[in-house]
């Protein structure tokens, strides 16, 4: 027995070591990722005809947003040879999965995209420039597709890599009953007026802002809304597009952060904001537990259903009276995978979404967003007296004022999770100073860009 006890562990060690060695030699010969062959095919000729051969388009879309499926169904109705195979995941899951799914052999044709720069760097996205020319997308307002362009490690210029299934606008939803209760007769015209309303609500016993800040920082919405007004919005856009030399450490960002801190201290956000998630926020707002909610038009149709006639919307007011409105507005970006089996059909679908009358109507009624597309096409109208009609109007107003900017949360792949969210949670709990917040976000940004 003693012999076994001394002998066995040694034998086991030898065995383990040899197994590890086998594993090492099997895997450690080359650096990870080295065996990947380049997937980008040449973009010689593109077809703008759909043909009549049966086609199945694989689509990877976002759970909870029925627009993609609705458009796919209508497309199949109009083109009987095209079927869709749709896989859905939550957006955060898509963010995490997209690179690996697109690098796999079963890469989808059309995919809902998070940030694009990394995907382009890794050759995972199809360059849509040939389709841009072939379909004449130059007739779209240039600003519409700007966020979807990727150049040398920056966004905003360069080649086109995505299209929007609807173009969203963000602003402030308000509860009309609570608004009249505190004497708000019309949307505020300036930031100062907005702050007056917040104070009035607070003293009147009405929760001024219902905003989530768990998992991801929902309070970044009001923060950026303020930041857009306190400085030159192109500075914000440059930072998001990773233009060389752009920084978050600006007087505008600092003033915005100080304002958020002031609001938090005044109790304008709920005490449990750091424990409130997105669904919780929408639920509380629908129940009438908050006057304002910073959110986007993707909730319009839902809010019209849950609180009909009791909800309004306005673009975040300007700092000085009569100033230019600026709002976060982003396409619901879909791209074509570099490994797509049917890239031509995918591009045909994307073009159809922007130009077909029925598709544009679906974008509005189901997606709640502006359909985009050529400026000479009419925008379908929504039912009167709905918040959907208000967000649609706001979207057109923003287009006319040329005030759309992307979300600061989209600046880099990790900035939202690694810096904005934890630091914002600290800020509103009094654990971080405004100066510290601005510096921490910029530090993470630089760290990511240096990789």
CB atoms within 10 A of CB 335: 27
Residues 202-241 that bind other proteins (CB under 8 A): 213-215
Q: Which stretch binds other proteins (CB under 8 A): 17-25, 52-60, 339-347, 359-367?
A: 17-25
> Applying CB under 8 A, which of residues 14, 429, 443, 446 lies at the interface with other proteins?
429
> Applying CB under 8 A, which of residues 211, 270, 286, 356 lies at the interface with other proteins?
270
Pull the structure tokens for residue 163.
């299209």
Binding of other proteins at residue 275 (CB under 8 A)?
yes
Binding of other proteins at residue 274 (CB under 8 A)?
yes
Binding of other proteins at residue 443 (CB under 8 A)?
no
Binding of other proteins at residue 266 (CB under 8 A)?
no
Structure-token match 């760097």, residue found: 121
Helix (H) or strand (E) holding 348: helix 343-355
Asked if 262 and 202 touch (Cβ cutoff 8 Å), the reply is: no
Asked if 130 and 43 touch (Cβ cutoff 8 Å), the reply is: yes
> Applying CB under 8 A, which of residues 235, 408, 421, 442 lies at the interface with other proteins?
421
> Applying CB under 8 A, which of residues 283, 374, 414, 436 lies at the interface with other proteins?
414
> Applying CB under 8 A, which of residues 234, 265, 431, 446 lies at the interface with other proteins?
431
Alpha helix stretches (DSSP H) within 104-172 = 117-121, 129-135, 142-146
> Applying CB under 8 A, which of residues 224, 300, 337, 425 lies at the interface with other proteins?
425
Dist. CA 380–CA 373, nearest whole Å: 12
Dist. CA 155–CA 118, nearest whole Å: 11
SS (HEC) of 359-377: HHHHHHHCCCCECCCCCCC
Residues 124-153 that bind other proteins (CB under 8 A): 124
> Applying CB under 8 A, which of residues 109, 118, 297, 344 lies at the interface with other proteins?
118
User: 67 vs 260, which CB is nearer to other proteins?
Assistant: 260
Binding of other proteins at residue 31 (CB under 8 A)?
yes
Encoded one letter per residue, x for contact with other proteins by CB under 8 A and - for no contact, window 33-72 reads xx-x------------------------------------
Structure-token match 């031509």, residue found: 344
SS (HEC) of 281-323: HHHHHHCCCCCEEEEEHHHHHHHHHHCCCCEEEECCCECCCCC
Nearest partner of 58 among 340, 356, 366, judged by Cα = 340
Binding of other proteins at residue 355 (CB under 8 A)?
no
User: 95 vs 377, which CB is nearer to other proteins?
Assistant: 95
Could you say which DSSP state residue 117 is in? H
By the criterion CB under 8 A, which residues form the site for other proteins?
1-4, 19-20, 22-24, 26-28, 31-34, 36, 92, 95-97, 99-100, 103, 118, 121-122, 124, 213-215, 270-276, 413-414, 417-418, 421-423, 425-426, 429, 431-432, 448, 451
């Amino acid at each position: 027995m003693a012999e076994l006890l001394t002998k066995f562990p040694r034998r086991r060690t030898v065995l383990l070591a040899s197994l590890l060695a086998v594993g090492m030699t099997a895997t450690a010969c080359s650096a990870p990722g080295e065996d990947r062959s380049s997937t980008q095919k040449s973009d010689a000729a593109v077809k703008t005809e759909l043909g009549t051969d049966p086609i199945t388009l694989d689509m990877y879309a976002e759970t909870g947003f029925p627009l993609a499926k609705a458009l796919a169904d209508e497309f199949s109705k109009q083109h009987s040879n095209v079927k869709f195979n749709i896989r859905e995941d939550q957006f955060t899951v898509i963010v995490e999965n997209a690179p690996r799914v697109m690098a796999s052999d079963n890469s989808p044709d059309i995919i809902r995209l998070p940030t694009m720069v990394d995907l382009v760097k890794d050759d995972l996205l199809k360059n849509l420039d040939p389709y841009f020319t072939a379909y004449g997308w130059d007739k779209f307002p240039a600003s519409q597709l700007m966020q979807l362009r990727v150049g040398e490690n920056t966004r905003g210029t360069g080649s086109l890599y995505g299209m929007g299934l609807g173009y969203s606008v963000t602003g402030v939803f308000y509860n009309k009953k609570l608004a009249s209760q505190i004497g708000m007769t019309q949307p505020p015209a300036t930031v100062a007026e907005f702050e007056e309303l917040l104070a009035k609500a607070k003293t009147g016993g009405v929760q001024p802002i219902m905003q989530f800040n768990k998992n991801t920082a929902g309070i970044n919405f009001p923060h950026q809304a303020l930041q857009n007004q306190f400085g030159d919005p192109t500075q914000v856009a440059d930072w998001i597009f990773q233009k060389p030399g752009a920084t978050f450490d600006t007087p505008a960002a600092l003033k915005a952060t100080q304002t958020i801190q002031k609001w938090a201290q005044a109790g304008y956000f709920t005490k449990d904001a750091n424990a409130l998630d997105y669904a919780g926020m929408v639920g509380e707002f629908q129940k009438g537990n908050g006057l304002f909610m910073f959110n986007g038009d993707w909730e319009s149709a839902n809010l019209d259903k849950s609180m009909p006639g009791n909800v309004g919307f306005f673009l975040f007011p300007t700092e000085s009276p009569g100033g230019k409105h600026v709002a976060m507005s982003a396409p619901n970006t879909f791209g074509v995978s570099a490994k797509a089996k049917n890239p031509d059909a995918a591009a045909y679908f994307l073009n159809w979404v922007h130009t077909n009358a029925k598709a544009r109507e679906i974008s509005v009624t189901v997606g709640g967003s502006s359909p985009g597309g050529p400026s000479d096409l009419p925008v379908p109208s929504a039912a009167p007296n709905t918040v959907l009609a208000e967000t649609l109007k706001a979207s057109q107003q923003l287009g006319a004022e040329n005030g759309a900017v992307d979300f600061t949360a989209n600046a880099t792949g990790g900035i939202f999770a690694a810096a904005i969210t934890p630091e914002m949670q600290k800020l509103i709990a009094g654990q971080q100073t405004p100066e510290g917040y601005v510096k921490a976000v910029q530090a993470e940004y630089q760290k990511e860009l240096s990789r």
